[in-house]
Each structure stands twice: as structure tokens, then as C-alpha cells.
Amino acid sequence: MRRPLRRLAFGLVAAACAAPGSPRAQELVADLSRHLVAITTGFVGTDVLLFGATDGEGDVIVVVRGPRRPTVVRHRTRMAGIWVNDAELTFVNAPAFYWMASSRPLDRVLPAVAMERHRIGIRHLALRPDRAVDEDTLESFRDALVRNKTRIGLYGEQLGSIAFLGNRLFRTTVYFPANVPTGTYTVAVFLVRQGRVVSAQTTPLLVSKVGLGAEISRFAHERSILYGIMAIAMALLAGWLAGAVFRKA
Amino acid sequence: MQIYLPIAEISLNVLLLLGLGGLVGFLSGLFGVGGGFLMTPLLIFNGVPPAVAVATEANQVVAASVSGVLAHMRRGNVDFKMGGVLLLGGLAGSGFGVWLYSMLRAVGQLDIVISLAYVVFLGVIGSLMVVESVRAILRRRQPGAPRRKLHQHTWLHGLPFKMRFRKSKLYISALLPLTIGCLVGILSAIMGVGGGFIMVPAMIYLLGMPTLTVIGTSLFQIIFVTANVTFLQAVENQTVDVVLALILLTGGVVGAQLGSRFAGRFPGEQLRFLLALVVLGVAAGIVVSLVATPEDLYILGRESVG
């Protein structure tokens, strides 16, 4: 968590220094329509609107990143006719969610070196394995992680999806699917001119279970003994109730 | 109408879940088994993480068994002494099973072990039931056939620690029900089933209990074994989803009552034959999923931090 932030701060400072004559209007302002994605009982996924303005021409890149979590990738192989897991690799810092959008295709906006530096784009994600493996293995597990995450809608790139209104105002929507992991997200917006990031801004976004579901989940993890007893009590009661009701009917 | 399941962490359609509960409940009422062996794979097919499916199903089976056992108690079909001995074995087995489950999960082979356990047990029991029920149906068609003995005497009846089970009209070694209870307890923890589909044939064919007392007695002890599994899973793995369990059992109890009403209209052998076909069908479905080439050779494991 710490290193990219520092990197980002670095970028900000660099951008600020690069702009001579400081008492100018802010180069980039952006905000979200809301800063909390509430997972309620009826949650089926949701859109969050991101909007902002620049002080002139330029391209905008948005990166939404979920909390980092150790993620296991397993490889399956056929053994005696059935598919079993044979090898696995854990990425200790894989973002649980990663989504990127830009106002134009990236290769026309930013050179690869800059994307690498700012960790923009799925190809430039810093994914650290928990043990040393050779390059090919790492590559295939890494691709597999991205492929699987993309299939379940947790990783994605939408190049050219940020719409400009005039050449100053921009907007895009970020979709959080029903299976979105909970935690603190960061939404980073980059302003790019002539192949360089000239300004950046990050905004936090909280994805959290709220209401009854949140209570149940917290209860299950924090008071697991009591939770187990209550689950059984509920089942006993329900069974007895059903028996009693249908006996009369 | 979608509902977010707080422990499974996915949204599923309430009507779909109620329907699944009702369908499996109907079958379980019809055949006198818990139905967990059908529900767990169905939940996994619908995207519920296997760990949550197994633990939640155990919780649901508690409710299903309670409502079933009440009906059987009223008819005096529960052998409490036999149930108690089976239960002793069952508690030991389920404790071991939950431990085994956590270990397999850590090693990363849990899903495959669950699937294989299903294939082996469903396949063997389904086949045995087909053979047995077809024989019984054929025997019924020959009116002159001699009456069978209550049960065959084998070396199993020579084991020590003999106990008398009056209700079941048996005088057998306590080791036998203890072992059966223990094995079913292990399966119950790993597979998320009450174990009725194994317990019922084992009691009929291995112990030689009269069919009438088998179902009630099996349900009686399943309550305690699945309650134990629910508790241990909740404490060890935090994988019991009470919201999911509640929806499933709502559909389940209604289905079960309808099923048990239906059951009276069919002769026992034909019911057993039908159940055998269902059991074999589920086994075949799992075999296909194990053998078929997966969409992606790589899969994501459950994140180790919740």
C-alpha cells in the first residue's frame, strides 16, 4: 500500500514542480458521485459516477484499485482422467479489484515507461509472488490471475471510455459488480499531456457491507461460537415450527 | 428478486433458492433422506463457494431432520438406543471430519476431495440400491416366493460388546453402529450432508434393522451430527450462511411435507429404485464436471484473508 502512494506523491510533486507560475487554476479536479458503495441485502452491483475538469487540453486516465490481498492461483492437470490441482502460486499483493479507463487508447497517450512508473494498466500491475519462480511460470500464473479476475468482472480496462464535454469537463462511470470485494479503494485520476503525467489526484472510496448483512457477517467472524449456537437454534426452531404447522394442516 | 448472501458474498435469486429448497425437500420427503447430497452440489453449481455450501447445508439439514423426526416419533418409529450409539460414533467422526476439512482446504485439494467423495459414495450406493430394488420388485411379482429371514447372519454378528436393541429387534455388537456413525460423521463434515443416503442403506443392509425404524432413527441422529458440524464449521471456518440456510429451509420444509404425502402412494421398492436413479444421476453429473476439460486450466483459490 505504502510504496505506490509514495510513488504517487512523488508524481504529484513532480507535476507541481513541472508547472511554472504556480498561482494558476488547478490543473485537475475530480470527484465521485459518492464515496461509499453500500452492499445491502438487495445489492446487485452498482455504478459510481466519476466527473471532473481539467484546465485545458489533455488526456485523462482513471485507475480504480481495490484493497490488496494474498490471492492463490492454482493450475489444474489431468491425472488418471480427472482434473486435479497440481501447482499453485500466491500473489501476496494482488488488488482485489482493478479497473482502468482512459479518454483515448493508451498507446497514443502515454509511453510504456510512464505507465509502468504510475502502475497504469493491468499489464503494469505490481504482482509479487510469495516465492521465487522462473520467468515463464510467473508470467503464466500472472496472466491466469488477470484472466480469471477479468472473467468474474473484477479486473477490467475500458480504453477510450472517458467522455469529454467540450475539452474541459469529463465523466465516466465505474461499475462495481455484485461480487465486489469489500474494503478501502483508491480512485486515481491522471492528467496526461504530451506523453507525461502532469497532474494526479486520488480519492478514497469505501466498499462496505451495511445493514443486516454486515451485522451477520461481523457476528459470524467476531462471535463465531455464539453464531454457531444461534444458527443451530434457528434450525431447530424452524424444523419444529414446520412440523407443528403441517401437522395441523 | 436478488438477495445478497452475507457469508457466501454473492447475490442469488431468492425464487431460485426457494425452488431448489422445495425440490430437494420434496425428494427428501419422498425418500426419507436429508437431501443434502443433492443440495450441496446444486449450490456449488450456482456459484456458492464450496466451503460455504457444505457448512450451510449442514445447518439446513438440522431443520429438515427435526421436522422429519417429529413425524416419525409420533408413529413410534425411532429407536433411541440405536440412535444414541450411532450418535456417539457420529460426534467423534464429525469432529475429525471438520479438522480434515480445514487441513484439505489449506492444502488446496478440498474441492477435488469433496467431488471424489461424492462420486464414490453416490456411485456405490446408487448401484447397490438399483440392484436391491430391482430384485425386490421382481420378487413381489412371484407370489409363491418364500418369506425371507429378518436379516442374514454374517461374521459381523460375531463381534464383541453385544447390545440388545428392542425396537429394532436386534442383538448385535455396539461396535457396528459406532463405526457406521463415525464414518458417516466424517462424510457429513466433508460433504455437507446429513449422511442419510449412506446411513439408511447401511442400517438396512449392514445392521439388518427393519426399514420402518431406519428412517426415523437415522433422522434422529442426523440432527445431532449436523448440529455438531454446523457448530464446528461456524467456529473453525466461519462458513455458515444463516441467510442462505433460512431461505433453503423455508422452501425445504414445504417441499418435504408435500413429498412425504406423495410417498404413501408408491410401494417402497419402486421409491428406492427411483431414489437410486436420482443418486446415480447426481454422481454422473459430478463425474462429467471432473473429467470435462475446464474452461481455464488455472483457477483462483479462495483468498486466504477474509
Smallest Cα distance from A117 to chain B, Å: 27
Q: What is the mean pLDDT of chain B?
A: 81
Closest CA to B197 of B19, B22, B30: B30
- pTM, two decimals, is 0.75
Q: Do B234 and A220 touch (CB under 8 A)?
A: yes
Residue numbers in A near B6 (CB within 8 A):
209, 212-214, 216-217, 220
Per the CB < 8 Å rule, is A243 touching B71?
yes
Interface membership of B288 toward A (CB under 8 Å)? no
Write out chain B residues lying below 8 Å of A84, CB-based.
Answer: 109, 112
Instruction: Report pLDDT for A35.
Output: 92
Element of type H or E holding A225: helix A224-248
| Residue-level pLDDT at B283 | 87
Report, at the CATH architecture level, how domain A2-210 is classified. Sandwich (2.60)
Whether the CB-CB separation of A52 and A31 falls below 8 Å is answered with yes
Looking at residue B304, its pLDDT comes to 38
Decide if B159 touches A, using CB distance below 8 A.
no
Q: Is the pLDDT of residue A125 over 70?
A: yes
CA A25 to chain centre: 31
Confidence of residue A19 (pLDDT cuts 50, 70, 90): very low
3 state SS of A89: strand
pLDDT band with cut points at 50, 70 and 90 for residue B151: low
- Residues B192-214 have a mean pLDDT of 78
Q: What angle do CA B181, B120, A73 make, to 5 degrees?
A: 105
- Classified as helix, coil or strand, A109 is coil
B111 vs A102, which has greater pLDDT? A102
pLDDT for residue B153? 62
Convert the pLDDT of each residue in B77-97 to its tens digit.
788 888 899 889 988 998 898
Measured distance CA(B31)–CA(B260) in Å, rounded: 8
Contact A203, A190 (CB under 8 A): no
CB pair distance less than 8 Å for A232 and B306: no
Query: Starting at the edge strand that comes first in sequence, how are the strands of the sheet with A68-79 ordered?
Result: A82-95, A68-79, B298-300
Select from A43, A44, A85 the residue whose CB has the most chain B CBs within 10 Å, as the one to mutate to test that interface: A85
What is the interface pTM, i.e. ipTM, of the complex?
A: 0.80
Report the SS3 class of residue A66: coil
Range of lowest pLDDT (A131-140, B174-183, B258-267): B258-267
Query: pLDDT value at position B292?
Result: 82
Banded model confidence at residue A18, pLDDT cuts 50, 70, 90 = very low
List every span in chain A annotated with CATH 2.60.40.1930. 2-210
User: Which of residues A135 and B271 earns the better pLDDT score?
Assistant: A135
Q: Is the Cβ–Cβ distance between B189 and B101 less than 8 Å?
A: yes
Does B108 sit within 8 Å of A72, measured CB to CB?
yes
What is the per-residue pLDDT for A229? 94
Instruction: Give pLDDT, residue B156.
Output: 65
Mean pLDDT of B49-62: 87
Judge whether residue A24 has pLDDT over 80: no
* Cβ of residue B155 closer than 8 Å to a chain A Cβ: no
Among A177, A200, A194, residue whose Cα is nearest residue A61: A200
Q: Span A45-52, mean pLDDT?
A: 92
* B229 contacts B210 by C-beta, under 8 angstroms: no
Determine the length of chain A.
Answer: 249
**pLDDT in the model for residue B49:** 84
The answer to whether B291 and A79 are in contact (CB under 8 A) is: no
Cα–Cα distance list, B29 to A73, A149, B252, B294 (Å): 41, 41, 9, 35
Query: What is the tens place of the pLDDT at every residue in B221-262?
Result: 888 888 988 998 899 888 999 999 999 988 888 887 787 777
A75, A180, A246, A247: best to mutate for the B interface, most B CBs within 10 A: A246
CA distance A248 to chain B (A): 12
What pLDDT is attached to residue B237? Answer: 84
| pLDDT higher than threshold 90 for residue A66 | yes
Residues of A in contact with B65 (CB under 8 A): 239
